[in-house]
Amino acid sequence: MKHFLVNAAAIFLGALLFAASFPNPLFSFGLPLLAWVAYVPVFWVINRAGPAPLLNRKTGGKTIAASLAAASLWGALYGYAAYWLFMPWLNAFDPMAWMLVSIIQLLYMALLFPLLKLAFILFPQKGYLLQWLLWLSYEYLKTKGFLGFPYGITGYTQWQFPPLIGIASIFGVWGISALVLFPSAYLSAGLSAYHGAAENGSPKGALTFFRRERLAASAWLGAVAGALIFGFMQGDYIEETKNVAKIALIQQNADPWKDGAAGTGRILTTLKTLSVNALKEEPETELVVWPETAVTPRIYWSQHYRDNAGSYAMVKDLLDFLAAQNVPFLIGNDDARQEISKSGRWDRVDYNAALLLEGGEIKDVYRKINLVPFSEYFPYEKTFPRIHQALVKADTHFWKPGTDWTVFQAGRLRFSAPICFEDCFGYISREFTRNGAEFIVNLTNDAWAGSLSSQYQHLSMSVFRAVENRRSLVRAATSGQTCAIGPSGKILAMAPAFTETALNVEIPLLTSRTPYTVWGDLWAVLFCVSAFLLLLSGIIRSILRVNKTGRM
């Protein structure tokens, strides 16, 4: 019982350290230093979970199976607890969403922990290196596919330190995760050696481990020093260019999906007033940006089909206002079009889109490619009809994913506009940059959460998109965090959260390509391949040893 309680306490401590490392309700910016040791209790529990592993012809590996099963149970507990503490703001969207995300992470960790335990079993002396690679692989793989979810990647905890995260221009966020994760794997292995030296623990085992593995520690220290030198050498010179753009970012501080037509009218009035004030303050503004779905009446649809008199009146008033302005506007909107539906009939199809309007006319459109699973997109209607029907009953607004990597041209400006949590995925901003975008504009609506920590968690990921591609990134968010981020990851300006405001910013424009822009997530793939090959080699070696000697 004592062993169980100690393990449980360590797992909950690990979950708490994980959640506290990121922006959270108590510390809006998070406590990033905690991330460097946040996984020590977790790896320690994995290393000691279950009975002492034994593989030979007599036991047939029963104790190993028991150890892996114990690790899986602890993984399930950690996965659920960590994300339950990390994302309480999801409850504002739907309590089921909060629970669903935690359950998905429960399943991921229930699969990951046995692999981490197996690494410790197969490589008693250097298993921590394989554990490190396996965790990095998990962080990358969990961002892929329909359930791809980038929240909780360790590297994002360091978003406030531009000198450290500068290497993301080479390695992506995965390079930062590699630096931050290593101490946890290393120190927990030392603790395991301490407890393994004698029944009650002895410093001798830990000292032996740290002496033996000093080369790995030295390599890590060298890597951290190299990252900092790289970051400091670049410093602020990245932002020091005469080629700049002046942009007005509008934050209306109201969720456009609430309060019906009356609320929409108030929001449109606020958006127009804030825009006029911003243009008065800075007449040389080259672009005005409104947040995601800032305008809920469908602009294109209302223009061409006029099936709702109230919506058409609002759209006409908006277009008349825009026609009187001498600057282009980028506006989040539902871009509804007549297309052939899945049933083979002509029907209205909705896209979550960013519309570039000049002189009151739509000049170009970007339609969101990576939609939020379940809340925006569910392509498994036939496979899971009950889930689909439940989402329909919950009044889920389904969109069709876009396919074009639009690069907008507004005067001399060339930019792209990932929508909402698209700026959480490195490959999206990279693709825009490869297509010629000279800066990135993110349109976001996080107002539904009513949570400052939610908004800062989102912002922390945006910072890396700027660094990875050495592109300025601006955000127009419904309630925050509306800001400008320089190519080095430095926050150049930020509007106060939960206020009606317009933020005039001046951002540097760069056109050179970074290694990350060229290679993408190559290093993350290498982590995955290395982890797989090492795990496979360890299994094969152990089987051969058992066949030869009768024991592992």
Would you please indicate which residues are annotated as catalytic (active-site) residues?
Answer: 292, 368, 420
Task: Give the residue from 412, 427, 395, 531 showing the smallest Cα distance to 143.
Answer: 427
CA distance 296 to 332: 8
Burial class (CB in 10 A: 0-12, 13-18, 19+), 26: exposed
The β-bridge relationship of strands 287-289 and 244-251 is parallel
In the chain, helix, strand, coil percent, each to 5? 55, 15, 30
Give CA–CA dist 88/522, Å, rounded.
33
Residue 149: which of 159, 157, 138 has the closest Cα? 138
Instruction: Give the span between the Cα atoms of 312 and 167, in whole angstroms.
Output: 49
Among 487, 441, 417, which residue's Cα sits nearest to residue 248?
441
Identify whether the C-beta of residue 14 lies closer than 8 Å to the C-beta of residue 80.
no
E strands, 297-377, are: 329-334, 337-340, 346-349, 352-358, 361-367
Residue 227 β-bridge partners: none
Which of 228, 229, 225, 325 has the alpha carbon at shortest distance from 279? 325
